[in-house]
Structures are given as C-alpha cells and as structure tokens.
Amino acid sequence: MDDDSWVPPAVLIAVDLVIFTLRESRLQVLLVERGVDPFRGALALPGGFLAHAEEDLLAAAHRELAEEAGFAADQLHLEQLSVYGTPGRDPRGRVVSVAYLAITPRLPEPVAGTDASDAWWIPTDRALSPDTRLAFDHRRIVADGVERARTKLEHSALATAFCPPLFTISELQEVYEAVWGVRLDPRNFYRKVQSVNGFIEPAGPVRKTENGRPARLFRPGPRQALHPPMNRPPEPGASERRPI
C-alpha cells in the first residue's frame, strides 16, 4: 500500500448553509438560483468554497452567510449539521462539503442584501418534493436539516430562535406545529412549556394586541438543553405500545 512517493490526495472544501425560518406558518429554507454552470438555473443551498487555505470552516460559513444571504456575521447561530463527501457528488471534482444549520426569525419578504443571484424562501416540503430540482445532493442535506431541527426542538430551546426577541406562547406553539407538522393542544402546550425549567421567562407584564385577549410576552430563558424534553406526538404510521 505505502511507498515513499505516496502523498495524500488533496480535495476541495465547501460549506453549505441550511437556513430555516418560519413564514406563513410553514418551515421554509433559503435557496438561491445558481447562475453558473454545474446545475445552472437549479436551486441550491447558499454556500461555496473556502476562500483561502487558512480560513476556518465556521468563518467560511459566516462569510457565505453574509455574501449570499446578507446576514451580519454573528447575527445567527450556526451549528454543524453533517459532512457530504461522496466522490461523485460534484461534477467539478472531489469536493467535501460541510453543512451548517442556522435558524432565523421571520424576515421581510425577500432576502435582505443578496449579493449573488436571487434567493428565495421555499417551504421545505416543496423543496423536498420530487418536482423541485435541487443542485448536487442538496435535497438530502435539506432533509437532514429538517430531521435535525425536529429532534432539536424536542431537547433544546431551538424553537425560540424562530421567534423575535419577545414572543407569545402561541407564537412558540406555531413553531412546534410547523416544524413537527402536527397540531398541539394550546392549553396543554401552555402548561407544558412553562413547566420546563429555564425554557422561557416572562418579559414584564407587557402585552400585545391582535384579535382576542392580549397575550403575555416571554423571552428565551437561560436553559439551552430542555429537561424534561418537549414531547413530540408519535407518528400515526407505526403501531406503538407492546402487544402485551
């Protein structure tokens, strides 16, 4: 196997961003239309190659976040999702891509300062449908991101990242319903979410108007990991419970 002339192969490193938000009560992902040729015209996740050999992966992700989606550097929390390095995944050569997950509160219609081609918020179920053509293996990356978001909602305070700095419990419930794709009982949700340690805390006796009775406002609590976790209702598909 080894001989003296062997040197390890060098490959290209890319970062891809799965940026989620909530719009129209649906989980949506930011996609850009590719203007250059591998998959020109197809939708793709924001991302790109490392700028130089000394650039940190997370720094590259933040740079792409600013360049392609107009988000200020540390405006958003980025979390590593997974790595995608199958040899054939990029026709230009061997590319290993590190995917990052980011969450943002509701934003004004299009995306702020898009540098490159146009960027759109696309509902994840539409992005994942076979009708939508996504570049590279980005359909799988989006699917992994959705799955990650779903489980993180159970065990972490991630849901508050979808909300503005002050939010009502109904708004928080909307996040859970959209990401999990289920309906939850507002009364039980109300109780549950307040019984979990430092998940959310009251933000003054302030209130807010809309249609019915004004709701109290809350802000994210100090606790990042939720104990006990939020309970995701079981999928109706599989038969649960032991036979005896």
Partner DNA sequence: GGAATAGTGTCTTTTAGACATTATCGG
Partner DNA sequence: CCGATAATGTCTAAAAGACACTATTCC
Distance CA 111, CA 64 (A): 14
Which residues between 53 and 72 bind its own copies (CB under 8 A)?
A: 53-57
- Cβ distance 160 to 44 under 8 Å? no
Distance CA 207, CA 218 (A): 10
Closest separation between CB of residue 54 and DNA, Å? 47
Range in contact with its own copies (rule: CB under 8 A) among 5-13, 21-29, 38-46, 183-191: 5-13
Distance CA 56, CA 64 (A): 12
Range in contact with its own copies (rule: CB under 8 A) among 22-30, 38-46, 176-184, 191-199: 191-199
Query: Is residue 8 a contact residue for its own copies (CB under 8 A)?
Result: yes
Q: Which does 8 bind (CB under 5 to 8 A by kind): DNA, its own copies, none?
A: its own copies
Q: Which does 1 bind (CB under 5 to 8 A by kind): DNA, its own copies, none?
A: its own copies
Q: Which does 75 bind (CB under 5 to 8 A by kind): its own copies, DNA, none?
A: none
Which residues between 117 and 146 bind DNA (CB under 7 A)?
A: none
Which residues between 156 and 215 bind DNA (CB under 7 A)?
A: 168-170, 185-188, 190-192, 195, 207, 209-215
Written as six digits, the tokens of 176 are 């859970």
Residue 70-99 contact track with its own copies, rule CB under 8 A, x = bound: ----------x-xx-xxx------x-x-x-
Closest CA to 150 of 172, 176, 174: 176
- Cβ distance 162 to 25 under 8 Å? no
Q: Which does 50 bind (CB under 5 to 8 A by kind): its own copies, DNA, none?
A: its own copies
Q: Which does 211 bind (CB under 5 to 8 A by kind): its own copies, DNA, none?
A: DNA
Token pair 């060098």 is found at 10
Closest separation between CB of residue 233 and DNA, Å? 6
b/e 83-109 (16+ beta carbons within 10 angstroms → b): ebeeeeebeeeebebbbbbbbbbebee
Q: Which does 177 bind (CB under 5 to 8 A by kind): DNA, its own copies, none?
A: none
Question: What one-character DSSP code corresponds to residue 28?
Answer: E
Written as six digits, the tokens of 133 are 């053509």
Distance CA 75, CA 77 (A): 7
Three-state DSSP at 120 gives strand
Residues that bind DNA (CB under 7 A): 168-170, 185-188, 190-192, 195, 207, 209-216, 228, 231, 233, 241
